[in-house]
Structure 1
Amino acid sequence: MVFRVRSTLVALGAASLVLIGACAAPAPFETRSGPPGSAPAGELAEFYDQQVAFERCAPYATTALDEKLFADDRYDCARVQVPVDYADPDGPRGEVALLRVKARGEKIGSLLVNPGGPGGSGMNFVALLGPLWAAGPVGERFDVIGFDPRGVGASTPRVDCYTDAEYERGEGFSGALVPDVADEQEARMVAQRCAEGSGGPQALASFGTSNVVRDMDVLRATLGDEKLSYLGISYGTQLGAVYAEAFPQNVRAMALDSAIDPDLTATEFNFAQMTGFQKAFERYAADCATSADCPLGTDPVRATEAFQAIARPLLEHPAPTADGRGLTYDDVMNAVTSALYAQSLWPKLTEGLAELAAGRGDVLQAQRDSAFGRGPDGRYNNSGDAAYAIRCMDLPRRTPAEQTELARQIRAAAPFTDSGRPVRESHHECEAWPQPPTLPQPWVTGPVGLPPTLTISITGDPATPYEGGINLARVLGGSLLTVEGAQHGIALLGQSECVDGLVADYLIDLQTPPDDARCTA
């Protein structure tokens, strides 16, 4: 049975209750016996001792874009076995898929890379940046490893809650616009269909940060590295920090870009994030207003009102698009919020809003499709489904009253997202998940006895506000690199020689920048 999940700008979280099945709760992080970096004794040794067999990447592709990227002979790929449940290492097994760009010169080791999400494919991300690894110093000294966390992309078991056809119809999870669920019955249906499509309740309960960091330590060992070198962006900073607290003796270098704030609860972070998007919308509107043909007008104070006048009619009548799908209100909100991630996307956002004001939605539909991971063939990657499955096992769950109140608070914090319709009481899509969340709260407390780390934080980042980088650097006892700019993510992306140079110096030579280091995006 298919149902439509109503979308509002409610932030990631969950309500309470359970059950569609049961599995053992994850065990505490494995206690080490032996020198730092050694494999654990006992039942996990066979995972740590396995041999990695790299091969051509073409069979690993799950999207049309991957099919093109993974045909490149510069890359090779592999799968590493991990237990689905670390408390039951003799039970079902999963496989974490890897893509490798081999070091061009004298190799230090492997650099494990996660692009965020949660739900982002590290394999796709590393392959997309292939030309940068081929030219830069990091690609010379490291095997760059993009991995798909459990549940994501080419890894198995893989999260699968909704079909491509359902996403085309606006059903299922809605990306940047977090869904709410009408009642307990719908919550049970969400959990049931995710379990059925993803390998059962035990697999569904395994898709969480606590298990991903265990997988990362298995990857470190199987790749032959005594210590982990790591680059994490956005959610990837949380992965890195949780790994550091679990396995501090196994950390060599950790570059964390656009940090999730460890000082905030999940609800507080959601609120801060939406406040950041409102600020980004206002910066965009002020920039747009300098042009006489700005679709939001030349008075930035009235930009929110002008945007609502353009977007709200789509609640009743989607805008026509060339492919016949039509552009809905939810589509517009996803397109706009994703375009606010970087100032470089503002011109295309202006073009799309102007087109929408004139009665068509093709430009914004293309932006929405990019945000959703939709390919030209109509296939979607599974980042949307995976994001919710992972966060359902990470975040504290909210009661319907708490979820509804958060919706009201976020609408007040980010009025450009206000649909004009009343906020209805809602349940959370994680309410009936098969197990409670497994990520500790707070998820990192420090100090954790780490070698120097490097956190990179951008002053105008809408998705992970700048203060989060300050706080993560403090908790980890590491260095902070401040970047003046208005975007989300910058390290080793070829956009700032200053940033890329300092990050390369750190990863290669373990040289951290001075305390007051600043770069410009």
Structure 2
Amino acid sequence: MTVPLDYSKPDGDTIAIALLRVKATGERIGSLVVNPGGPGASGMAAAASISPDFRKTDLGKRFDLVGFDPRGIGASEPTVKCLSNQERDKERLDLDVDTSDAGLAQTEEENKAYAEKCASGTKFGASMLANMGTRDVVKDMDVLRSALGDAKLSYVGYSYGTRIGTEYAETFPQNVRALILDGAVDPTQDQLTSLVAQGAGFQKAFNSFVEWCKGKGACPLDGDANKSFRELTTPLIDKPAPAGDRQLSYTDAITAAIQALYSEQLWPLLLNGLNELRQGRGNTLMTLADAYYDRDGDGNYSTITDAFSAVHCVDDQRLTDKAALTDAARRYKEAAPFLDDGRPAGAALDSCAFWPAPVTGETKPPKAEGIPPLLVISTTGDPATPYEAGVNLAKALNSRLLTFEGNQHTVFLQGQQCVDQAGVKYLIDLQLPADGTRCA
């Protein structure tokens, strides 16, 4: 699908949005568009991955399943590209844990250089970066709705995809048929408050993992689990662990743990990885970290990390108050003590502070005017988008909240029958579950 690079210049340069469609097998209602979040994740890959569960429900009969890679992402053209594969590998070994004045200054220089590489490595340069935000993605999605022949949009958004869905509903309320927002980004919090809340969410998930781990008989997190985890990982700051022909850094070990806490299905891998680390090896943790960064076995990275930065840097206000950043770093360590590296709290300006494109997004509570009732799904043990974020989004949008009691990030069309039945009924019949519905 071809769309303008800049919607204020409809006759200017154009870009291409990549699409994947699985056609309905029965009496068709329309299309169901999905976005997996990130920002930076591929909607095409998401459609492919949920297609088996989708086809098991009546949704497969009534809707075409449509995944799209948002502008600058995945198979869409052009893609945002900042670092080469070799540069990304090198970046993962650069810890940036030095919070001295000199250490922070060095980190800021690196972040500034990264922003410059994003502009120089991407077709259309700063113009592409300036039009990467959610403001533009929702316009693309409305063009997509029209191109699919749907009078109104049916949509499922996960994680950051809930922000896309919310902003679409605010921008085009008359074009909304049904929206499921699963794993909500909290519309009531500023970035630093949200970051600290996420730290608390990961600590909660870690505590649940520890409880499971200690029941397995070979858990390396004995006694004070936070302390045990730190004793395993912080030595990597000075001496990385061998992982095949590569080196597992402290940052990679933390990233591996974060990746595993997204889903209980990954807990056995984290347990295995921590036991390996106790023996001086980092292979399994490296595999988990590679999955987070979307690095394949041949050393090739997708652009998910670069795209994450590109969207975040134009969606959210610049953070330049170093005192506030340092305070947030301190509060994050308090909220997630298992991730406390023992160094003094400190924070460098991130790459967004040097981004060569203006902010186009707004941080504000959404308005529900003219929007039909939506379905918000929130998981009690979601580490990345904590449960209260979904509660707050449902309240702000005057929509229905469906609670899932579990430990994972997002849940719809992932095999949880109670959640799936409620979501399918809403999408097909526009009938919301009863107020206060909980699934386990």
TM-score by structure 2 length?
Answer: 0.94
Q: Does 1:393 find its partner at 2:317?
A: no
CA distance in 2, matches of 1:479, 1:148: 28
Contact in 1 for aligned 2:108/2:348 (Cα 8 Å): no
Runs (5+) with no aligned partner, structure 1: 1-79
Question: Quick one: which amino acid aligns to residue 342 of structure 2?
Answer: G
Structure 2 residue aligned with 1:275: 200
Residue-by-residue CA offset, 1:86-128 (whole Å, 9 max, x unaligned): 1111111111111101111111111110011111100011112
Contact in 2 for aligned 1:180/1:428 (Cα 8 Å): no
Secondary structure of the equivalent of 1:112? Answer: strand
CA distance in 1, matches of 2:107, 2:84: 22
Structure 2 residue aligned with 1:197: 121
Alignment of 1:42-81 (within 5 A): 80-81=1-2
Residue-by-residue CA offset, 1:221-254 (whole Å, 9 max, x unaligned): 1111110000001111111001100000000000
CA distance in 2, matches of 1:408, 1:417: 11
Contact in 1 for aligned 2:192/2:325 (Cα 8 Å): no
Q: Does 1:231 find its partner at 2:156?
A: yes
Structure 2 residue aligned with 1:30: none
Secondary structure of the equivalent of 2:412? Answer: coil
Q: Does 1:320 find its partner at 2:242?
A: yes
| Residues 83 and 110 (structure 1), Cα distance of their counterparts in 2 relative to 1, 3 Å cut | same
Displacement after TM superposition at 1:447 (Å): 2.2
Question: Quick one: which amino acid aligns to residue 125 of structure 1?
Answer: A
Structure 2 residue aligned with 1:489: 410
Residue-by-residue CA offset, 1:374-413 (whole Å, 9 max, x unaligned): 1122211111110011000011111133333322221222
Deviates more, 1:305-314 or 1:165-174: 165-174
Q: Does 1:265 find its partner at 2:187?
A: no
Displacement after TM superposition at 1:180 (Å): 7.7
Contact in 2 for aligned 1:182/1:425 (Cα 8 Å): no
Q: Does 1:501 find its partner at 2:425?
A: no
Displacement after TM superposition at 1:184 (Å): 5.6
Give the root-mean-square deviation of aligned CA atoms.
Answer: 1.8
Displacement after TM superposition at 1:135 (Å): 2.5
Residue-by-residue CA offset, 1:277-297 (whole Å, 9 max, x unaligned): 111112211222234421111
| Residues 251 and 336 (structure 1), Cα distance of their counterparts in 2 relative to 1, 3 Å cut | same
Secondary structure of the equivalent of 1:168? Answer: helix
Secondary structure of the equivalent of 1:331? Answer: helix
| Residues 460 and 281 (structure 1), Cα distance of their counterparts in 2 relative to 1, 3 Å cut | same
Contact in 2 for aligned 1:191/1:434 (Cα 8 Å): yes
Structure 2 residue aligned with 1:39: none
- In the alignment, which of 314, 325, 336 is matched to residue 414 of structure 1? 336
CA distance in 2, matches of 1:387, 1:188: 16
Contact in 2 for aligned 1:180/1:429 (Cα 8 Å): no
Structure 2 residue aligned with 1:516: 436
Structure 1 residue aligned with 2:326: 404
| Residues 364 and 453 (structure 1), Cα distance of their counterparts in 2 relative to 1, 3 Å cut | same
Structure 1 residue aligned with 2:131: 206
Structure 1 residue aligned with 2:100: none
- In the alignment, which of 3, 7, 13 is matched to residue 92 of structure 1? 13
Q: Does 1:368 find its partner at 2:289?
A: yes
- In the alignment, which of 117, 121, 139 is matched to residue 42 of structure 2? 121
Contact in 1 for aligned 2:159/2:385 (Cα 8 Å): yes
| Residues 518 and 425 (structure 1), Cα distance of their counterparts in 2 relative to 1, 3 Å cut | closer
CA distance in 1, matches of 2:30, 2:268: 41
Displacement after TM superposition at 1:488 (Å): 0.8
CA distance in 1, matches of 2:311, 2:60: 30
TM-score by structure 1 length?
Answer: 0.80
Contact in 2 for aligned 1:166/1:172 (Cα 8 Å): no
Structure 2 residue aligned with 1:479: 400
Residue-by-residue CA offset, 1:25-76 (whole Å, 9 max, x unaligned): xxxxxxxxxxxxxxxxxxxxxxxxxxxxxxxxxxxxxxxxxxxxxxxxxxxx
Question: Quick one: which amino acid aligns to residue 229 of structure 1?
Answer: S
- In the alignment, which of 54, 78, 101 is matched to residue 157 of structure 1? 78
Secondary structure of the equivalent of 2:127? Answer: helix
Structure with greater helix percent: 2
Contact in 1 for aligned 2:39/2:307 (Cα 8 Å): yes
| Residues 265 and 172 (structure 1), Cα distance of their counterparts in 2 relative to 1, 3 Å cut | farther
Secondary structure of the equivalent of 1:167? Answer: helix
Q: Does 1:188 find its partner at 2:112?
A: yes
Displacement after TM superposition at 1:136 (Å): 2.0
Secondary structure of the equivalent of 1:267? Answer: helix
Secondary structure of the equivalent of 1:366? Answer: helix
Deviates more, 1:275-284 or 1:223-232: 275-284
CA distance in 2, matches of 1:351, 1:154: 34
| Residues 181 and 171 (structure 1), Cα distance of their counterparts in 2 relative to 1, 3 Å cut | farther
Question: Quick one: which amino acid aligns to residue 291 of structure 2?
Answer: S
- In the alignment, which of 135, 138, 142 is matched to residue 56 of structure 2? 135
Runs (5+) with no aligned partner, structure 2: 96-102
CA distance in 2, matches of 1:445, 1:389: 23
Displacement after TM superposition at 1:169 (Å): 2.2
CA distance in 1, matches of 2:34, 2:191: 24
| Residues 173 and 258 (structure 1), Cα distance of their counterparts in 2 relative to 1, 3 Å cut | farther
CA distance in 1, matches of 2:406, 2:179: 22
Displacement after TM superposition at 1:173 (Å): 10
Q: Does 1:357 find its partner at 2:283?
A: no
CA distance in 1, matches of 2:250, 2:435: 45
The alignment covers a number of residue pairs equal to 431
- In the alignment, which of 342, 345, 367 is matched to residue 446 of structure 1? 367
Question: Quick one: which amino acid aligns to residue 409 of structure 1?
Answer: R
| Residues 210 and 180 (structure 1), Cα distance of their counterparts in 2 relative to 1, 3 Å cut | farther
Secondary structure of the equivalent of 2:11? Answer: coil
CA distance in 2, matches of 1:171, 1:86: 36
